[in-house]
């Protein structure tokens, strides 16, 4: 039982023992009651004193300050601890929020960096594609120019003249009663092209057996300018003369190389100068066209090697 209840019980016992016996008169009862009141008054004052909470045990309302109250100090400490816990919790959640915001900021920065890298890569690929497109355009232009040039060449070749050797006659010329000292060759040429051609120059180179190391030696070379117009699919002839090196006038074997230079006459034809060469061999009986003789020079204006 609490200490305060024991005090109450003792005080009531004392008051009950001091009361008058039962059966006295009313006056005595009133006097006794007065005397009891006078005598017990101090005890009830003690009870009232005991009922009053000591200051050190008095409660303390929130926000109230009583430095003589133990409970008030404890409540103050509890309130301070609670407030500290609240601020700690707020600080924790603020820290969590800061971490989240920092993570979001870092993620946004990383995303921005990745986007910038992707944009740079896309720009680089676009630049590479542009370079490739420029290169393709240049190659396409070059191919188109080559096609135009080739088409022009094909067109010019289609309309240009083509002069070729067709046949030849050989005649040995000499004074009556004397061996022949000259040879006369009439060479016939045909224009196989689609436009007229003009033969502007021709040369001859005559080779006979008897050279060094088994090769034939050149005994005559001649160049002259001419102007012979040959139409498409038309023929014309050129006469070539040469002096024999055989004192007896015998022409058993010899070869003659012929060069001709000619141009086209069509308005749209190229001004290019064309060159054709032919080899004719005489075997003692007849003159015939032969394959080009390798290792034997043909006389050209720029090579005065006769």
> What residue spans define the domains of the chain?
3-52, 84-159, 163-290
Q: In this predicted structure, which of 36-50, 98-112, 131-145, 227-241 has the lowest mean pLDDT?
A: 36-50
- Per residue in 250-275, pLDDT (tens digit) is 666 788 889 999 988 865 555 788 88
pLDDT at 36 over 50: no
- Per residue in 192-244, pLDDT (tens digit) is 988 899 999 999 888 888 777 878 888 888 898 999 999 999 999 998 877 66
Instruction: Over range 284-288, report the average pLDDT.
Output: 77
Task: Please count the other Cβ atoms lying within 10 Å of the Cβ belonging to residue 261.
Answer: 19
Short-list 282, 279, 301, 261, CA closest to 183: 282
pLDDT at 151: 80
pLDDT at 60: 62
- Confidence band (pLDDT; 50, 70, 90) for 43? very low
Structural contact between residues 57 and 72, judged by C-beta atoms closer than 8 angstroms = no
Would you give the DSSP letter of residue 284? S
pLDDT at 3: 53
Radius of gyration, alpha carbons of the chain: 72
Across the chain, what does the average pLDDT equal? 75
Structural contact between residues 60 and 75, judged by C-beta atoms closer than 8 angstroms = yes
Q: Which residues contact 180 (CB under 8 A, 6 or more apart)?
A: 172, 173, 174, 244, 249, 251
Architecture label for domain 163-290: Sandwich (2.60)
Structural contact between residues 39 and 17, judged by C-beta atoms closer than 8 angstroms = no
pLDDT at 23: 43
The helix/strand/coil state of 112 is: helix
pLDDT at 45: 46
Task: Please count the other Cβ atoms lying within 10 Å of the Cβ belonging to residue 260.
Answer: 23
pLDDT at 165 over 50: yes
Please tell me the distance from the alpha carbon of residue 229 to that of residue 235, in angstroms, as a whole number: 9
pLDDT at 1 over 60: no
Q: Pick the more confident residue, 226 or 54.
A: 226
Please tell me the distance from the alpha carbon of residue 6 to that of residue 50, in angstroms, as a whole number: 11
pLDDT at 233: 92
- Confidence band (pLDDT; 50, 70, 90) for 306? very low
pLDDT at 180: 60
Query: Percent of the chain, pLDDT > 90?
Result: 10
- Confidence band (pLDDT; 50, 70, 90) for 296? confident
């Amino acid at each position: 039982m609490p200490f305060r209840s024991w005090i109450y019980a003792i005080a009531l016992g004392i008051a009950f023992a001091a009361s008058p016996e039962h059966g006295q008169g009313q006056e005595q009862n009133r006097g006794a009651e007065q005397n009891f009141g006078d005598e017990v008054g101090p005890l009830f004052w003690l009870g009232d004193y005991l009922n009053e909470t000591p200051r050190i045990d008095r409660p303390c309302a929130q926000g109230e300050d009583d430095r003589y109250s133990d409970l008030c100090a404890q409540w103050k400490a509890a309130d301070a601890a609670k407030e500290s816990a609240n601020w700690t919790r707020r600080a924790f959640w603020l820290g969590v929020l800061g971490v989240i915001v920092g993570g979001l900021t870092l993620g946004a920065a990383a995303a921005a960096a990745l986007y910038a890298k992707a944009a740079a890569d896309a720009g680089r690929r676009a630049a590479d594609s542009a370079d490739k497109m420029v290169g393709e355009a240049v190659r396409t232009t070059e191919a188109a120019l080559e096609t135009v040039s080739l088409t022009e060449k094909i067109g010019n070749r289609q309309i240009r003249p083509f002069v070729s050797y067709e046949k030849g006659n050989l005649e040995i010329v000499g004074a009556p009663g004397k061996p022949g000292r000259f040879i006369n060759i009439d060479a016939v040429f045909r224009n196989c092209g689609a436009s007229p051609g003009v033969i502007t120059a021709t040369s001859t180179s005559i080779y006979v057996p008897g050279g060094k190391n088994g090769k034939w030696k050149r005994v005559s070379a001649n160049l002259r300018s001419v102007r012979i117009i040959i139409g498409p699919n038309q023929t014309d002839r050129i006469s070539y003369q040469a002096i024999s090196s055989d004192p007896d006038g015998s022409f058993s074997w010899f070869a003659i190389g012929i060069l001709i230079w000619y141009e086209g006459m069509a308005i749209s034809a190229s001004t290019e100068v064309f060159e054709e060469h032919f080899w004719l061999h005489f075997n003692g009986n007849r003159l015939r066209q032969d394959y080009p003789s390798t290792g034997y020079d043909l006389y050209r204006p720029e090579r005065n090697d006769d």
